[in-house]
């Protein structure tokens, strides 16, 4: 794989472009589409129409989906509330609990590497006089349980910590977090979007009171999600954020998206049947990709814990290479970079910064999100392509050359002209 590799050829059976950004969204499973299709056409009833067969049919489909979702997460069907997706679920959970338990306290605990749907919701609540504590994470991306213990006080009403991180794929110790919360009489919400259907997740065993779920991360449709809300020990009450009609036990009004809900239910059913086998397969592909990259390239490292991690996630930094240049070089592979292009500035990812990584390392990171439809041939092609481009880019990098010669870049005094 030297400089002779002018262009990496796609082998037979590999169709370009290759999709490896399954944490951003996943393709719709054909079986999910098949389950949804009738509800767009012949079975078009409104699930709230209680006086004719069209409505009953729609209502029955919604209740079946409720059961499919509940089974996957170890809940009761009555504890599932349908929403338009994870962002709404996070908003409903956090704002709904904050409002309902205002008399009891105004203190909320979260962590710095949460999804923006949680962070921005917490920031909004700060404007209304709530106190929010943002816990740091260790270098492996996991919170320190001692920090959480210390952060709790008599005014703490809610802890919201994600089950699996969307960028670095790290799994938080939610079972222990939930146990701590229950000992202190504090409610525990988890954004479980990246974990549900990929790793074992059980609301009872994991001591979870409220959990956000999204369909499009588990091969279901976009625009539909769910919120699990515990009914007993403790009974969680949530103040509605959208009013009108009192649908979904008064927690979330609005005509239900029946085809979407059917799709979410079917996606959960498939995940339950295939998760163990799929997880093992994805872990194998992920480790193969990692080993290939590490065997051919120096100065690469994995961001976040390798042990506590989603099977399909590999977030890797290729030091002395700009993430954006690398993405352009591998433009026939869909992955995402550690720096988000916000307006005209290239901001390194706040998640990677929270791990203590410098801007240079954060800027050079790539997130590979492997999924149900990725193949070994695709992994081999992507590995070869990345190795080829990283080597080419480093040939152009004076910093890489200096490091190879043993120069310590931290000791250099750069002269300004």
Whether the upstream peptide bond of residue 257 has omega within 30° of 0, thus cis, is no
Overall pTM surpassing 0.85 (yes/no): yes
Q: Are residues 246 and 328 in the same domain?
A: no
Q: Are residues 94 and 236 in the same domain?
A: yes
> CA neighbours within 13 Å on the CB side: how many for 210?
27
Convert the pLDDT of each residue in 229-278 to its tens digit: 999 999 999 999 999 999 999 999 999 999 999 999 999 999 999 999 99
Active site residue 122: no
Residue 305: which domain range?
A: 18-27+274-407
Which of 4-18, 157-171, 280-294 has the weakest average pLDDT? 4-18
210 vs 188: CA distance, rounded Å: 6
Q: Are residues 214 and 338 in the same domain?
A: no
**How many other C-beta atoms lie within 10 A of the C-beta of residue 414?**
5
- CATH code for position 324: 3.90.1150.10
Tell me whether residue 417 is in a domain: no
Question: Concatenated DSSP letters for 99-158?
Answer: HHTTTT--EEEEETTS-HHHHHHHHHHHHTT-EEEEE---TTS---HHHHHHH--TTEEE
The number of distinct structural domains making up the chain is: 2
Q: Are residues 296 and 223 in the same domain?
A: no
Place of tokens 């919400």: 189
Q: Are residues 157 and 232 in the same domain?
A: yes
Tell me whether residue 7 is in a domain: no
**How many other C-beta atoms lie within 10 A of the C-beta of residue 356?**
12
Q: Which of 226, 255, 271 is the last residue of a domain?
A: 271
Q: 293-322 b/e with 16+ CB inside 10 Å = b?
A: beebbebbebbbbeebbbbbbbbbbbbbbb
Convert the pLDDT of each residue in 310-368 to its tens digit: 999 999 999 999 888 999 999 999 999 866 554 445 678 999 999 999 888 898 999 99
Q: Which of 222, 242, 271 is the last residue of a domain?
A: 271
Options 122, 181, 268, 341, the catalytic residue = 341
Q: Which of 271, 286, 319 is the last residue of a domain?
A: 271
Q: Are residues 192 and 301 in the same domain?
A: no
Tell me whether residue 6 is in a domain: no
Q: Are residues 320 and 335 in the same domain?
A: yes
186 vs 178: CA distance, rounded Å: 9
Tell me whether residue 64 is in a domain: yes
């Amino acid at each position: 794989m030297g400089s002779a590799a002018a262009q990496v050829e796609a082998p037979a059976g590999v169709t370009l472009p290759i999709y490896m950004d399954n944490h951003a969204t996943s393709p719709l499973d054909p079986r999910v589409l098949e389950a949804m299709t009738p509800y767009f056409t012949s079975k078009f009833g409104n699930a709230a129409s209680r006086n004719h067969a069209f409505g009953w049919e729609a209502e029955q489909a919604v209740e079946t989906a409720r059961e499919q979702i509940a089974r996957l997460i170890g809940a009761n069907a009555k504890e599932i509330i349908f929403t338009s997706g994870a962002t709404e679920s996070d908003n409903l959970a956090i704002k709904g609990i904050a409002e309902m338990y205002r008399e009891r306290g105004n203190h909320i605990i979260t962590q710095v590497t949460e999804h923006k749907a949680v962070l921005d919701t917490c920031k909004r609540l700060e404007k209304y006089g709530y106190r929010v504590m943002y816990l740091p994470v260790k270098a492996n991306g996991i919170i320190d349980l001692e920090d959480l213990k210390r952060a709790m006080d008599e005014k703490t009403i809610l802890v919201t910590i994600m089950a699996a991180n969307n960028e670095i794929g790290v799994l938080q110790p939610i079972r222990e977090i939930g146990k701590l919360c229950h000992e202190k009489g504090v409610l525990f919400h988890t954004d479980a979007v990246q974990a549900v259907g990929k790793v074992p997740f059980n609301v009872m065993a994991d001591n979870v009171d409220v959990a956000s779920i999204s369909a499009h991360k588990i091969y279901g449709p976009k625009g539909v999600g769910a919120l699990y809300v515990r009914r007993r020990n403790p009974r969680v009450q949530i103040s509605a954020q959208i009013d009108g009609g009192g649908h979904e036990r008064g927690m979330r009004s609005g005509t239900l998206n029946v085809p979407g809900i059917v799709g979410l239910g079917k996606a959960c059913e498939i995940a339950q049947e295939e998760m163990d086998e799929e997880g093992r397969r994805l872990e194998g592909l992920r480790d193969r990709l990692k080993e290939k990259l590490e065997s051919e390239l120096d100065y690469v490292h994995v961001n976040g814990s390798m042990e506590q991690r989603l099977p399909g996630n590999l977030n890797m930094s290729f030091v002395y290479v700009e993430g954006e240049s690398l993405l352009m070089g591998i433009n026939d592979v869909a992955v995402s970079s550690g720096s988000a292009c916000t307006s005209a500035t290239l901001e390194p990812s706040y998640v990677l910064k929270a791990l203590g990584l410098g801007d240079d390392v954060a800027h050079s990171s790539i997130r590979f999100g492997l999924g149900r439809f990725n193949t070994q041939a695709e992994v081999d092609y992507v590995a070869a392509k990345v190795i080829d481009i990283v080597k080419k880019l480093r040939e152009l990098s004076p910093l890489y050359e200096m490091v190879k010669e043993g120069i310590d870049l931290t000791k250099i005094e750069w002269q300004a002209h």
